[in-house]
Amino acid sequence: MLNGSKIKVGFTKIGSKEWIGGINYFKNLFTALKEYSNIEPVVFLNKNENNSDLIKDFTNISTIVETKTLFNEKSVLNKLNRKTVKFFSRSWFYDKYFEKHDIKIISHSNFYDEKSILKKINWIPDFQYLHLPEMFTEEEIKVRNYHNRKMVENSAIIILSSQDAFNDFKNFAPEHTDKVRILHFVAAPNSQIFINDAEYKKQILLKYELPEKFFYIPNQFWKHKNHKIVFKAVNILKQQGLDIKVVCTGNLYDYRSPDHFDNLQNYIQQNNLYDNIRILGFVNYNEVLFFMRNCISLINPSLFEGWNTMVEEAKSMGKQIILSDLPVHREQNPSDATYFNPENSEHLAEILKDKWQNSVYGSNFELEKTAKEQLPHRIKEFAQTYEKYVKKLVIS
């Protein structure tokens, strides 16, 4: 911990079970800030919501303030059935409430009341809806555009996670590019995952009835995550007599496409791939990290990303990864990556066949050693970049 007075920054939205990536993003940010900055994250969570797990997860890396009714309105994206989205100004109430907790800056919270005196830092993870409009309703696109424009207009700083997202921002709001700050988040996995525990490995594989040799996809089953291309590649190899194994974990439901998971299940059934593709749904994060470390390779076949957590975890763990060839994946630049066309199952099948036959599954101790040596510097840079943005806002 660094010396000096703490700068308190308020946060009100830190992900949910529907958006595990958000929870992991803030865990990584707060962990980095605790270790390498003078920023004190203060997280406001509603008592009347099921936040006990979040409170437990974030207690050691942030200050938790439990509230009653302050932040219990549904988000704008949950009001899509309304013809008009209304925003009620409660700036005086918010300002007084945060002042009581010595908060002058609110960050990453989608809070942009133009009448509020709070200094606002907001985060736009990506502009997926502009690239893949077919995966959103017209109304949702309209609302997201409105929501993002209001944030841009009424925030002092807009955090973007990648240069790729900044390229989109230049087209979206070219008159506000001066507000943009790029913050490449870094994953900080628990060092316990590097312990070679043969008994624990045996227990996990037995628990889920898994073989020792498998590929791993930890993506949620959202349509743009593009699991189908992997399943098609597995089927191609099965027709060639090669029975590879793929383990999948994550949320099974996509609110934008409620029948998406059922369609994937139908494909598995129609092609008799139950022995090849194991879908486990939600598992705890330590098990996710176990699967990452012990698989042949991670796979991210996504059609779009902002700054992918799995890629950052692969970088921090020293893990081989197979990636859809997206500009942002190239920008993230993991050291041991293989890229493929996310619309070409034949191309992916060739890569999977090569990795299955020629790669050693489990840990690569040389890559892990390098990753562990680089990780403290990467986390420190992450924390101090955010701290720099906050400090400039404090003195402005």
Q: Is 273 a residue whose pLDDT tops 90?
A: yes
Q: Which residues on neighbouring strands pair with residue 48, listed in sequence order? A: none
Q: Is 84 a residue whose pLDDT tops 60?
A: no
Q: Is 86 a residue whose pLDDT tops 50?
A: no
For domain 197-362, is the CATH number 3.40.50.2000?
Answer: yes
pTM of the entire predicted model: 0.89
The HSE-up count of residue 91 (CA atoms within 13 Å, CB side) is 12
pLDDT for residue 51: 77
Q: What is the pLDDT of residues 130-143, one digit of tens each?
A: 999 999 999 999 99
Phi-psi domain of 17 (left: phi exceeds 0; alpha: psi -120 through 50; beta: other)? alpha
Q: Is 75 a residue whose pLDDT tops 50?
A: no
- CA 263 to chain CA mean position, Å: 24
Domain residue ranges in the chain: 7-187+376-395, 197-362
Contact 127, 169 (CB under 8 A): yes
CATH number among 3.40.50.2000, 3.40.50.1100, 1.10.357.10, 3.30.70.270, domain 7-187+376-395: 3.40.50.2000
4: confidence class by pLDDT, cuts 50, 70, 90: low
87's tokens: 């925003």
In the chain, what is the greatest distance between 2 CA atoms, to the nearest angstrom?
Answer: 68
Q: Is 219 a residue whose pLDDT tops 90?
A: yes
pLDDT for residue 269: 97
pLDDT for residue 191: 74
Q: Is 24 a residue whose pLDDT tops 90?
A: no
Poorest-confidence range of 87-96, 97-106, 156-165, 314-323? 87-96
Give SS3 for 151.
helix
Q: What percent of the chain has pLDDT over 90?
A: 73
- Of 389, 394, 379, nearest to 33 by C-alpha is 379
Q: Is 369 a residue whose pLDDT tops 50?
A: yes
- Residues 6+ positions from 306 with CB-CB distance below 8 Å: 125, 126, 128, 161, 162, 165, 328
Q: Is 254 a residue whose pLDDT tops 70?
A: yes
- Residues 6+ positions from 342 with CB-CB distance below 8 Å: 226, 229, 301, 302, 303, 324, 325, 326
d(CA 169, CA 160): 9
Q: What is the DSSP string of 167-225?
A: HHHHHH-GGGGGGEEE--------GGGGS--HHHHHHHHHHTT--S--EEE-----GGG
pLDDT for residue 79: 39
pLDDT for residue 90: 56
Q: Mean pLDDT over residues 12-17, rounded?
A: 80
The HSE-up count of residue 161 (CA atoms within 13 Å, CB side) is 21
